[in-house]
Structure 1
Amino acid sequence: MNTLFVAGHSKLPTGMAANNISDTLTLTLEVDKKYGVILEASCTLATEHSKEYVNHLLKGYSLKEGIEEPIKKLSLGYLGKAGKALEASLKDAYKQYQLT
């Protein structure tokens, strides 16, 4: 297999639709082993549109180059309540990736 499946977790802020399902946010990344490029990203936000948007924001970044740019893109592009939770989940996923 030429990919890794990496997951990051964080606590969601209160008062979100996703809280009806869970109080944590999970961000999963399928990452190319050789280049560290994010091939697909998914998360446990409530709407399909938000999940697709997060995938669109993160797809194509190489974790080998760090996460400064994807974090910046998330903070500028995702303006919902879960923005900080998404950033924290990405940081957690990146820590998991660094263990490989």
Structure 2
Amino acid sequence: MQTAFIAGHAKLPSGMAAQNIYDTLTITAEIEMKYGVILDVSCTLATEHGRQFISHLLRGYSLNDGIEEPLKQLQEFYLGKASNALISAFKDLYKQYHLVLKTKQGE
């Protein structure tokens, strides 16, 4: 099984605990490249509970099916201050995934 480690980034809103540590929020994912399935995911939220929640929420989705459903899950179930940053970072991760696919197709 071929996997890739891909990251997406977004600016954090001011006044957040994580913003004292990082200026940006990062979502990283290990993605199985044949089907685009998210095998594992992490992010730079300040609390372990928040990081585990995001991991549980996004694991198992296939990026080959688009990002509408995982974005809907983020909007509906993550109700913290970082929701817009998480959504932006996930969109950036999706963009990076497609850049990797395009590069691999050109090889």
CA RMSD of aligned residues (A): 0.8
**2:89 counterpart of 1:89:** yes
Give the percent of matched residue pairs that are identical in Structure 1 and Structure 2: 63
SS in structure 2 of the partner of residue 99 of structure 1: helix
1:46 maps to 2:49: no
Q: Distance in 2 between matches of 1:35 and 1:23?
A: 32
User: 2:4 aligned with 1:14, yes or no?
Assistant: no
State the one-letter code of the partner of 1:30.
Answer: E
Aligned to 1:66: 66
* DSSP-derived class of the 1:55 partner: helix
Q: TM-score, normalised by structure 2?
A: 0.91
Deviation >3 Å, runs of 4+:
none
> TM-score scaled to structure 1, two decimals?
0.97
Tell me, which stretches of 5 or more residues in structure 1 are unaligned?
A: none
Of the two, which has the highest radius of gyration?
2
Rounded to whole Å, the distance in 2 between the matches of 1:65 and 1:98 is 12
* Deviation of the 1:23 alpha carbon: 1.4
